[in-house]
Structures are given as C-alpha cells and as structure tokens.
C-alpha cells in the first residue's frame, strides 16, 4: 500500500462509494492522532472527488463514546481538526473506526461516526463512576455496510447492520414474502 512520509493512507476507488483510509497510529501508544499532515492529506484527497459518496476510515474513533473506563476517545490529538476537515466535505457519508471493542454511533463532523464491534473480546458498556474497563461475555460481531442508491430519495444512502457471531437457536420465522406465518 502507498505511504506518505511514515503514514499508511490510501483510497479505495472504482465503486459506488469511495473509501478514504487514514493512518491514526502513534507508534508505541494505544491512542491515536490526526496530525496536521494527515488532516491536510485527507482534505486534499476529499477535494478530489466532491460528487462521490465517501467513507472516511481510521482505526481510532475521533468521537467520545461515553464509556468511563476507556479513554474519552480514541484520538489523543487532532479530533477537532479532523471534524473541521469532514465538515468541509458534505459528500462524506460516514466516519468509520474501530479500537473501542464495541459498536458506538455518534455525530461527528456533520455526519455519522461509527465504531465497529469487535470480532474478538468485547469491552463492557460501563458508564459508572468507577472507571473500569472490563472484558465481558458477549458474542463477537461484525458490521455490514450496505449502499442503497435506489431507495426512496429521502432514504437512499449507507445502511449499517451489526451481526453477532455465534451458534444460535434456529430463527423463528414471522413473515414469509410479506405474509404472516405465525399461527398458521
């Protein structure tokens, strides 16, 4: 993958939705950053395709998730600057991240921020004053993002589902082809 200076940043193009991937890593630290150079690269890259729906992806979420046991957000520095860049580009339809080991959705930079669930050990949802960070016994999960350009004009766009992974009971069918099957 192409690098700029020491950052690994790139674009996935050629699809209905463009994906711009940003490097938020601070070597040797768990928190991330979006320094001036990274934000400038993102700003320039977003300006190259202003009519193309775009996802911005980075590892560390730039928004606060409300959990007291973890850091206030995944970015140690540059969250405000990143939000300013995103706000300048109204074709950014989502900011995707990971790092926090649970799904979190928040407003960010005039669009939707989403931290995906974890496929390994999940962290508990702790909003209490003790500031604990716990691994909990919840199933791993993944996110499925679906682009729906042909939905009703006021509903078209990116839809995200969170799918738990595991061995579950068979489904209970409620409807088949739009018809109620319960009680038949």
CATH assignment at residue 32: 3.30.750.180
Residue, of 166 and 42, whose pLDDT is higher? 42
pLDDT bracket for residue 34 (50, 70, 90): very high
pLDDT bracket for residue 158 (50, 70, 90): very high
What pLDDT score was predicted for residue 144? 97
Q: What domain range is 60 assigned to?
A: 3-180
- Give backbone dihedrals phi and psi of 141, rounded to 5 degrees, phi first: -155, 170
Calculate mean pLDDT across residues 124-148: 87
Residue pair 164/139 in contact by the 8 Å Cβ criterion? yes
Mean pLDDT of the chain: 88
177/35 Cα distance (integer angstroms)? 51
Instruction: Determine the distance from the C-alpha atom of residue 70 to the mean position of all C-alpha atoms in its chain, rounded to a whole number.
Output: 17
High-pLDDT (> 70) share of the chain, %: 91
- Indicate the number of domains in the chain: 1
pLDDT in tens, 94-131: 999 999 888 999 999 999 999 999 999 888 888 777 77
What pLDDT score was predicted for residue 155? 72
What's this model's pTM, rounded to 2 decimal places? 0.87
What pLDDT score was predicted for residue 154? 73
Q: Report which of 5, 148, 20 is spatially closest to residue 94, judged by C-alpha positions.
A: 20
26/146 Cα distance (integer angstroms)? 31
């Amino acid at each position: 993958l192409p690098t700029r200076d020491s950052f690994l940043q790139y674009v996935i193009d050629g699809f209905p939705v463009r994906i711009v991937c940003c490097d938020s890593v601070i070597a040797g630290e768990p928190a991330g950053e979006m320094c001036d150079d990274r934000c400038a690269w993102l700003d320039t890259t977003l300006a190259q395709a202003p009519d193309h729906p775009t996802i911005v992806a980075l590892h560390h979420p730039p928004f606060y998730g409300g959990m007291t046991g973890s850091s206030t957000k995944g970015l140690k520095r540059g969250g405000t600057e990143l939000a300013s860049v995103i706000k300048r580009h109204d074709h950014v339809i989502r900011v995707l991240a990971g790092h926090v080991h649970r799904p979190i959705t928040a407003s960010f930079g005039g669009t939707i921020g989403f931290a995906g669930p974890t496929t390994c050990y999940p962290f508990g949802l702790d909003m209490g004053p003790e500031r604990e960070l716990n691994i909990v016994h919840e199933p791993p999960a993944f996110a499925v993002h679906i682009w729906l350009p042909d939905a009703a004009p006021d509903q078209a766009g990116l839809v995200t589902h969170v799918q738990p992974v595991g061995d579950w009971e068979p489904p209970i069918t409620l409807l088949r082809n739009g018809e109620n099957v319960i009680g038949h």
